[in-house]
């Protein structure tokens, strides 16, 4: 990994696995959904491999036990509303910011970077989570998974954000943790820094060749 310095005008930041460890709440909702369906629970360690592509995909994985499985439609139609109701009440009960997040956000804000948030999580869960954890006010835009017609790994959320601020994608950077963040950034023309600790379905994020991998957002003081 290069030790290059980044000097973007815009920094767009992912939520789950980058800012917030949301797996404890998601795993609770997964297991409660499975109980309601009369099935065995999965546990937090397994759910950790499944998150990062939005709630519908998580529910599909919950029902099939596979990353790309297709559940029986009747099962999905029953499980999905159960999960949504559970998660609406458990969006930020067990979730927490990763160490270094506040230090990183404060540093970027103090340096005058334009900050935005981009996630595949639906807006109804994203906004309460950011507000409950006290970081909503750092962001000039929040693009959720259902804000636009497409979500990551499509570049649309990043291109939309750059256009919203009137900043060129080549002057923009993404902070993420997964292969979908890397793909979206590359397609949009953004630079990409990934967190080593996030959710990438059990694979090493370094294998996707982001511009830099760091272990804490506090390290951004050395790279921006």
Catalytic residues: 14
CA dihedral of residues 214, 220, 222, 224 (deg, nearest 10): 120
d(CA 197, CA 19): 11
Give me the sign of the Cα torsion angle 213, 111, 174, 134. positive
d(CA 126, CA 4): 32
Please report, for residues 123, 139, 217, the alpha-carbon distance to residue 116 in angstroms, rounded to integers and kept in the order given: 14, 5, 15
Distance of CA 221 to the CA centre of its chain: 22
Residue 61 φ/ψ, nearest 5 degrees = -70, -35
Two structure tokens written together for 65? 């036990």
d(CA 143, CA 121): 9
Name the 3-class secondary structure at 11.
strand
Residue 180, number of CB atoms within 10 A of its CB = 21
Name the 3-class secondary structure at 20.
strand
């Amino acid at each position: 990994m290069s030790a290059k310095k980044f000097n973007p005008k815009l920094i767009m930041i992912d939520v789950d696995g980058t800012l917030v460890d949301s797996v404890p709440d998601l795993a609770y909702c997964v297991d409660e959904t499975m109980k309601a369906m009369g099935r065995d629970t999965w546990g937090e360690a397994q759910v950790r491999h499944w998150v990062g592509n939005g709630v519908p995909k998580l529910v599909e994985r919950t029902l099939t036990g596979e990353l790309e499985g297709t559940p029986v439609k009747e099962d999905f139609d029953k499980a999905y509303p159960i999960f949504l109701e559970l998660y609406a009440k458990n969006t930020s009960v067990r979730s927490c910011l990763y160490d270094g997040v506040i230090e990183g956000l404060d540093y970027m804000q103090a340096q005058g970077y334009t900050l935005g948030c981009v996630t595949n999580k639906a807006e109804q869960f994203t906004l309460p989570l950011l507000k409950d954890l006290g970081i909503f006010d750092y962001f000039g835009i929040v693009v959720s998974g259902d804000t636009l017609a497409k979500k990551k790994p499509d570049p649309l959320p990043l291109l939309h954000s750059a256009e919203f601020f009137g900043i060129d994608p080549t002057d923009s950077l993404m902070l993420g943790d997964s292969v979908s963040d890397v793909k979206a950034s590359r397609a949009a023309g953004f630079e990409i820094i990934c967190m080593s600790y996030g959710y990438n379905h059990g694979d090493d994020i370094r294998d996707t060749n982001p511009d830099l991998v760091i272990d804490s957002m506090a390290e951004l003081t050395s790279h921006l």
